[in-house]
Amino acid sequence: MPIASSKDPRVRRTRKYLQQAVLALLEKQDLASITVTQVTREAEINRATFYLHFRDITDLVDQTLDALFDTLVANERLSAHAYGPLVPDITPESLIALFRYVGEHPLLYRRLFTIRGENSFMERLDHFHEDQFIQHWHRLNPPVKEGEPPPSYRARFAAVAIHGALTWWLEQGQDQTAETVASWVWQRIGPVWFSQ
């Protein structure tokens, strides 16, 4: 049984090393090919210790990706709260923060963004962005004119635009700055989002 709730700093440190090892390996190889042996070797922790903390490699990977996702969206939420509501002509700092954060780990995110399937990392990020845009819409509560797209369409459009831009940017080797690509995305999203 893994030690999930211990407050012992040694337990937290060991779990952190194992999670960092998974992320380091993900920068070099496919998720499906990562083994307990590779992780323990990378983390310099013995196999028996691994099983004190995680049931198996799937348990470790799931918890690692959950923690990574939480960190990514926490950065966006902090930026969104710090800089206030969305406005049409200014690229949201939260969007710039997303591109900066992903840009710090391009190999890792390129690999994570290619994993498909239900509840994949990218699908979760798309849902998060849709939800954020919908929440923002409800805070503003503007009327929707007849013939104009509903908020759910606009939110999906925005999420897919962010997804596509992140993927493209990483594939292109980040030739443009995070700020530039985020501003390009906002130039496309803004009119769809704010037109009523």
Query: What residues have CB less than 8 Å from 113, skipping those under 6 apart?
Result: 121, 122, 163, 166, 167, 170
Residues 113, 122 contacting (CB under 8 angstroms)? yes
**Per-residue confidence (pLDDT) for residue 103, from 0 to 100:** 96
3 state SS of 125: helix
pLDDT tens figures, 22-57: 999 999 998 889 999 999 999 999 999 999 999 999
Burial, 159: exposed, middle or buried (Cβ in 10 Å; 0-12, 13-18, 19+)? Answer: buried
- Give residue 195's pLDDT: 66
- Average pLDDT on 68-92 reads 79
Which two structure tokens, joined as six digits, stand for 18? 């194992």
pLDDT digits (tens, 9 = 90+) for 105-160: 999 999 999 888 777 999 999 999 999 888 888 877 777 788 888 889 989 999 99
Mean pLDDT of the chain: 88
| % residues pLDDT > 90 (the chain) | 62
Question: Widest CA span of the chain, in angstroms?
Answer: 64
113: left (phi over 0), alpha (psi -120 to 50) or beta: alpha
| Beta carbons of 86 and 189 less than 8 angstroms apart | no
C-beta of residue 136 within 8 angstroms of C-beta of residue 87: no
Q: Percent of the chain beyond pLDDT 70?
A: 92
The pLDDT of 6-25, averaged and rounded, is: 91
Phi-psi region of 6 (alpha: psi -120 to 50; beta: other; left: phi over 0): beta
| pLDDT value of residue 169 | 97
Q: Using alpha carbons, list the distances in angstroms from residue 51 to 6, 13, 68, 108.
A: 15, 15, 21, 25
Residue 80 pLDDT: 65
Stretch among 64-68, 87-91, 103-107, 157-161 having the lowest mean pLDDT: 87-91
Backbone angles phi, psi at 116, to 5 degrees: -105, 165
Q: Identify which has the larger pLDDT, 2 or 11.
A: 11
Between 145 and 193, the more confident residue is 145
Hey, what are 194's tokens? 């704010």
